[in-house]
Amino acid sequence: MRLPAEMRRVPASERGAFAMWFLLSHYFPENRLVKARQLAVRQRVAAHVRRAGRGRVIQVQRVESLSPEQFRRQYLFSGTPVIISRAAIDWPCTKNWSFDGFSKLYGDLAIKLVNQKGLCDDEPIDGQEFSEELPLRDFLAQVTTGGMKYMRFSPLLEMIPELLKDFDQKYLKEMPGPLGLGTTFQAFIGGAGTFTPLHNSPTPFFFVNAMGVKRWAFVPNEYLAVLNPPPEGRGYNYSTADVNNPDDPAHPGFESVDRLEAVLEPGDVLYVPSWMWHCVQNESPTIGVRCGFLYPGGMLTESQTLFLARVFAGKNPTFLQGILNTLRGDLPSRETGLLAPKIFRW
Ligand SMILES: O=C(O)CCC(=O)C(=O)O
């Protein structure tokens, strides 16, 4: 991402030093020297960002309309998030979807709640990709009565393909144009107060907010040393830094990083670039869909450190296995929606 002028910088030498120790930590996670050097860089970066005082919250740009050419030039190529205001206000997903409607039409469907480390706010159960399986009707009933179960990264649209026509597929295809390969759909449904912690992934996406209000926070990779993700080689990264507890001593300097914020209303479409760190709070009961696509350019340029870690130290799945999973269309692991969401077009 091209950092907005008002956001504080981290010296390139410190970013480079952190990248080196971070990459090495994937191979030598317990090595004392690696740990000590990585910590020393983190402390220098924390001292540096603290010099400018507490972090600022800068609003993501909101535009009324955006042509595909403008989108690519101003946001896709520079890896900058943007809200396209009410772009989906007339799409059937925004006009017609409701908890009642979903309950009546699809209430018997068994849905699974994703339970991946770093992506849910309760302690994941070891070795399980999802915490629970329950009928959609029961899940939605708890959403509307203040329950805190949250359906994240769900393959709901793969299970109910007729819902795909409630999106303007042409829009989703034309915005990235030939540079964006495929589209994946993952649904998020949760009540007020539900939360997805700080994470990122190699693929960019449009988030279509069909219902409710969502507050997003974004932290650029400029501050990777402060976020200090664990070197676990996953297909996504997570950080235990918490925007609601920025003074946590586990992430020195986090209270002093600048971040971006986007508050989504029904019908808004948000663009989130490759590797952009984000966490999300639902301010009211919400339904939203992550419409992801492959954009190799962004994967390479938005964080070379995370790209290299993914290619050379990825496990579970490895980089190659991840690509093969993506190319296959019949994976049972797609049940979780997270590891290999189905690609709907090329
Ligand atoms: O809406 C949410 O809670 C999280 C969305 C998200 O993190 C994603 O689509 O990657």
Question: Is 136 a domain residue?
Answer: yes
The CB of 81 under 6 Å from ligand 1? The reply is no
Question: Is 5 a domain residue?
Answer: no
Strand partners, 4: none
Question: Is 300 a domain residue?
Answer: yes
**Cis before 285? omega within 30:** no
3-state secondary structure of 268: coil
Among candidate residues 197, 203, 207, 205, the one with its CA nearest the CA of residue 227: 197
Distances (CA, A) of 148 to 114, 139, 190, 247, 335: 14, 10, 7, 25, 22
The CB of 34 under 6 Å from ligand 1? The reply is no
pLDDT for residue 323? 78
Question: Is 68 a domain residue?
Answer: yes
Question: Is 155 a domain residue?
Answer: yes
Atom of ligand 1 minimally distant from the CA of 199 = 7
Total structural domains in the chain? 1
- Domain extent, residue 239, equals 12-336
25 C-alpha to ligand 1 centroid (Å): 27
Atom of ligand 1 minimally distant from the CA of 150 = 3
The CB of 271 under 6 Å from ligand 1? The reply is no
Mutate to test the pocket of ligand 1, among 279, 280, 281, 293 (most ligand atoms within 8 A of CB): 280
Q: With contact defined as beta carbons under 8 Å apart, do 204 and 310 qualify? A: no
Question: Is 148 a domain residue?
Answer: yes
296 C-alpha to ligand 1 centroid (Å): 21
Atom of ligand 1 minimally distant from the CA of 195 = 3
280 C-alpha to ligand 1 centroid (Å): 6
270 C-alpha to ligand 1 centroid (Å): 11
Residue whose CA is at the smallest distance from ligand 1 atom 2:
280
**pTM for this predicted structure:** 0.95
Instruction: Say which CATH number the domain at 65 has.
Output: 2.60.120.650
The pLDDT tens digits along the chain (346 residues) read: 889 999 999 999 999 999 999 999 999 999 999 999 999 999 999 999 999 999 999 999 999 999 999 999 999 999 999 999 999 999 999 999 999 999 999 999 999 998 888 998 877 776 667 778 999 999 999 999 999 999 999 999 999 999 999 999 999 999 999 999 888 999 999 999 999 999 999 999 999 999 999 999 999 999 999 999 999 999 899 999 999 999 999 999 999 999 999 999 999 999 999 999 999 999 999 999 999 999 999 999 999 999 999 999 998 788 888 777 777 665 555 555 566 677 776 5
83 C-alpha to ligand 1 centroid (Å): 15
37 C-alpha to ligand 1 centroid (Å): 33
If you ran DSSP here, which 8-state letter would residue 75 be given?
A: I
Question: Is 345 a domain residue?
Answer: no
User: Which stretches within the chain are classed as H helix?
Assistant: 12-27, 32-50, 68-71, 92-96, 99-106, 136-144, 156-159, 169-174, 224-227, 296-301, 304-313, 319-327
Residue whose CA is at the smallest distance from ligand 1 atom 8:
290
Question: Is 1 a domain residue?
Answer: no
47 C-alpha to ligand 1 centroid (Å): 31
Mutate to test the pocket of ligand 1, among 151, 199, 207, 289 (most ligand atoms within 8 A of CB): 207
Tokens 């993914």 found at: 310
